[in-house]
Amino acid sequence: MPACTQGNEWETLNREFMSLYTQGRYDRALVVARKALQVAEQTLGPDHPDVATSLNNLAALYDTQGQCAQAEPLHKRSLAIREKAPGPDHPDVAQSLHNLAALYRAQGQCAKAEPLCKRSLVILEKALGPDHPDVATSLSSLAALYYTQGQYAPAEPLYKRSLAISEKALGPDHPDVARGLNNLAALYRTQGRYAQAEPLYKRSLVIKEKALGPDHPTVATSLDSLAVLYHTQGQYARAEPLYKRSLAIWEKALGPDHPDVATSLNNLAELYKSQGQYAQAEPLLKRSLAILEKALGPDHPNVATSLNNLAALYYTQGQYAQAEPLYKRSLAIQDKALGPDHPDVATSLNNLAELYKSQGQYAQAEPLCKRSLAIWEKALGSDHPNVAASLNNLAALYYTQGQYAQAEPLYKRSLAIQEKALGPDHPDVARSLSNLASLYDTQGQYAQAEPLHKRSLAIREKALGPDHPDLAQSLHNLAALYHTQGQHAQAEPLYKRSLAILEKALGPDHPTLAAILENMAALYTKTIRLKEAEALEERAAAIRAMALGCTELADQLPRCLGCGAVVGDGISHCYECRPK
């Protein structure tokens, strides 16, 4: 973060810089920061501590704009000045070490960041004592570095010690305590420990509202964090008002064109996308992108992320021609701004590969998947959860092509990594189990598939609750397994429960429902229940027509008198609304 100290013209310039930086007016802030540095160098000499402060401020601005190559030499010069002037064991040196480490972490260079974080912590503990609030901040930074690398076990005690120091030194209702609670909650959320995360997020929110008022931007951050937790668990109705309140706070506090507003718009759009409300999501993503391009420039990494999100929306709707140029532009920005080996580049490569895979362009997808995997392994180590996700993607590419012998060991390695890194009951483990089970399903190895499907189902029910869309997917997968084996009595209630969950979570006309309806129709046909089968087939066809934009056809279709869902001809109520 930028620092603000004192000194006549220089002090005035620093105050102006801080105000502009906080408002997100980075172009003007850059002019002021350069002027402040020039004044400090001319009046105090190139090696004065105040020059180090100006260098730090200018570097922080470049950090925010994603201009890492310009920020790094400034951070290094600031550090060199402080090591020479106050001395190598001064807290200001610790701050410079922290800032340079943060730059390396943002670039995915965790191996370069770690020794800087550790040295910063040692300096602060020695200079200020083990219970100083600055030590708490340093502990939190080291924990965040481990968190980024998927090293959750060493991160947790650091976050806890940081929180304990803040509570003792500052009192239980200080905003820094709220920040510590939020960090620990984020760790638990990532590990799938949602029940432990929720009370921490809520306490953090209460502290911030009490200390800073209900309309402070920091309150918006807490609202977003709690909303993400609910979003992850499929509790969309609880997430939406939090996202909307967060967005309103950001717009009021920072204006409609601030980058933080763009982030909030993106979060709300992702919620709508999860529910299949694509028409509501698209304008939010487009506005988010426009804000970031204007505020940060067209080549900023955050613009690349925004392009990725908009492309993903088009991809989900099968609008591949619209998605591809966005994915490609995103990848080009990240390659240029972050370097070819950055983890964000790996994410973009994977997204583009998935697009090609969906279009059957397997030869184009495979090298992208492999490069993505290589980047993750180099940047974060071979046992990181993101490596597992990348292995899953490459396995899925082979699976789609019927190359089962190549897919199986990748799925198995992915599963092993996730179980080790996240624990045996994490939702990501459930996804890997489901993928491996589907591989066995396809090969007719039902005895191997069934226990994997059941374990995936049990994990999701426990971790996500009985109404999450991912649970519906597990129910559908297990039902399809029984259906394939002619065990219709076991399959039907699973299909029905899966359908009921998705109708409740996503609405009666979501595209995901079509596959379940078609499978149920096939089951009814097999069991000579032809009228029921026909009704389900018609409803599935109607949903697919609506997903493809055939609104005129959809408007003419019969609908349930209870909930409005599409039903077959001559049917007044869908299955759920039918009088029991």
Supply the DSSP string of 362-426, one letter for each residue: HHHHHHHHHHHHHHHHHHH-TT-HHHHHHHHHHHHHHHHTT-HHHHHHHHHHHHHHHHHHH-TT-
C-beta neighbour count of 123 within 10 angstroms: 23
Question: pLDDT (tens digit, 9 = 90+) per residue, 150-202?
Answer: 899 999 999 999 999 999 999 999 999 999 999 999 999 999 999 999 999 99
How confident is the prediction for the chain on average, in pLDDT? Answer: 90
CB 469 within 8 A of CB 501: yes
* pLDDT, tens digit, 9 for 90 and up, residues 516-549: 999 999 999 999 999 999 999 999 999 888 877 6
Angle among Cα 403, 408, 412 to the nearest 5 degrees reads 160
Dump pLDDT digits (tens) for 467-519. Answer: 999 999 999 999 999 999 999 999 999 999 999 999 988 888 888 899 999 99
Pick from 317-321, 388-392, 538-542, 572-576: least confident = 572-576
114-128 mean pLDDT? 96
Are the C-beta atoms of residues 204 and 222 closer than 8 Å to each other?
yes
Q: What's the rounded Cα separation, in Å, for the pair 136 and 154?
A: 15
Cβ atoms of 115 and 109 closer than 8 Å: no
Pair of tokens at residue 317: 């709707």
Q: How confident is the model at residue 7 (pLDDT cuts 50, 70, 90)?
A: low
Sequence-separated (6 or more) residues with CB below 8 Å from residue 25: none
Sign of the dihedral defined by the CA atoms of residues 545, 547, 551, 556, in that order: positive
* Average confidence (pLDDT) over 258-270: 95
Q: Residues 224-245: what's their mean pLDDT?
A: 95
- Crossing angle (nearest 10°) for helices 278-296 and 301-316: 160
Q: Is a pLDDT exceeding 60 seen at residue 441? A: yes
pLDDT by residue (tens digit) across 442-454?
Answer: 999 999 999 999 9
Q: What's the helix, strand, coil split of the chain in %, to 5?
A: 80, 0, 20
pLDDT confidence of residue 418: 94
pLDDT of residue 2: 55
Q: Which regions of 399-515 does DSSP assign to beta strands (E)?
A: none
Instruction: Check residue 559 and report its DSSP letter.
Output: B
